[in-house]
Amino acid sequence: MNQPIPFGAGPAEGRGDLAEVMRDVAHGDKQAFSVLYDALAPLVFGIVVKVVRDRAQSEEVAQEVMIDLWRQAARYRPDAGSVTTWAATIAHRRAVDRVRSAQAATDREHAQAAREHATAFDEVAEQVETRLEGEQVRRCLRGLTELQRQAVTLAYYGGLTYREVAEALRTPLPTIKTRMRDGLIRLRDCMGVTT
């Protein structure tokens, strides 16, 4: 049993021998695990490296698989398939898990970087835009007549109705409506708003 089992062995030779080795490994036989390791490590590594594609990570995953084989040896059931099939299945699943985990981590990092970048840019852009718009509104309001400016300011910043603006400014309602209409047209033109 000290000799590695060749992978090219037929079903009667390799399968039966590895099943016996696995049974010994399940009982904690370190020498049997050494035989199992020598027999399966190249297969496991080959499967893992095809999926993971990074040699260093593949070596790590292959080691994890071999440790799993040691720990889970008692779970192996010969009637469910050969030891090589069982090991290959574990290796493939572990490799796929590693790739998915790495991709998820990369996706999270990209998403976080995008959120941080977008948030910082949006806050600055929004503040600048708000400041510029505020300056433009103040400049355009200065271009209105006194009555227009007061009427528009009370209506839009004070939330007053036409009637309340007329009462506050002690000006007839039709005059307020006309001044506000004219003032809004001038503001629209000044700010470059198109309808």
pLDDT at 9: 39
pLDDT at 85: 95
pLDDT at 136: 87
Burial classification of residue 178, based on how many CB atoms lie within 10 Å of its CB (0-12 exposed, 13-18 middle, 19 or more buried): middle
Q: Are 180 and 152 in contact (CB under 8 A)?
A: yes
Angle between helices 30-52 and 16-26 (to 10 degrees): 110
DSSP 8-state secondary structure symbol assigned to residue 153: I
Report which of 12, 17, 13 is spatially closest to residue 2, judged by C-alpha positions: 17
Report which of 129, 48, 131, 143 is spatially closest to residue 94, judged by C-alpha positions: 48
Cα–Cα distance between 52 and 33 in angstroms, integer? 25
pLDDT at 157: 85
pLDDT at 3: 44
Q: Are 61 and 90 in contact (CB under 8 A)?
A: no
**The token pair that represents 21 in the structure block:** 């080795």
pLDDT beneath 70: ranges in the chain: 1-16, 118-122, 195
Non-local (6+) Cβ contacts of 4 within 8 A are: 35, 38, 39
pLDDT at 194: 75
Burial classification of residue 150, based on how many CB atoms lie within 10 Å of its CB (0-12 exposed, 13-18 middle, 19 or more buried): buried
pLDDT at 14: 46
DSSP 8-state secondary structure symbol assigned to residue 4: P
Q: Are 44 and 85 in contact (CB under 8 A)?
A: no
